């Protein structure tokens, strides 16, 4: 089975991952893992921002 990621599903995935990593960063704030979760949250957030910027304008009208 092949999963096809469309622009909107990829963007939604990236936003969810950014949120999950941010939550993990908060939960682990007193451990060494917090920095990695924070970095991943920033990475996913930036990728989501780029994906949102590249969505066709027709998505904005929905």
Q: Is residue 36 in a domain?
A: yes
pLDDT of residue 36: 96
Residue 17's domain comprises 7-55
Q: Is residue 14 part of a domain?
A: yes
Average pLDDT over residues 1-14: 78
pLDDT per residue as tens digits for the range 23-47: 999 999 999 999 999 999 999 999 9
pTM > 0.75: yes or no: yes
The mean per-residue pLDDT over the stretch 11-31 comes to 93
How many CB atoms lie under 10 A from the CB of residue 58? 7
Looking at residue 55, its pLDDT comes to 80
Indicate the number of domains in the chain.
1
Distance CA 24, CA 34 (A): 7
Mean pLDDT, the chain, whole residue set: 87
Placement of tokens 């950014």 in the chain: 18
62 within a domain of the structure (yes/no): no
Question: In this structure, is residue 2 part of a structural domain?
Answer: no
Residues in CB range of 15: below 8 A, 6 or more apart = 44, 48
Q: DSSP label at 29?
A: T
Distance of CA 40 to the CA centre of its chain: 9
In whole angstroms, give the CA distance from residue 62 to residue 19: 23
């Amino acid at each position: 089975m092949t999963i096809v990621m469309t622009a909107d599903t990829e963007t939604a995935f990236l936003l969810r991952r950014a949120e999950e990593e941010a939550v993990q960063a908060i939960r682990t704030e007193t451990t060494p893992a917090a920095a990695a979760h924070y970095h991943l949250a920033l990475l996913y957030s930036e990728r989501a921002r780029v994906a949102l910027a590249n969505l066709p304008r027709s998505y904005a009208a929905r």
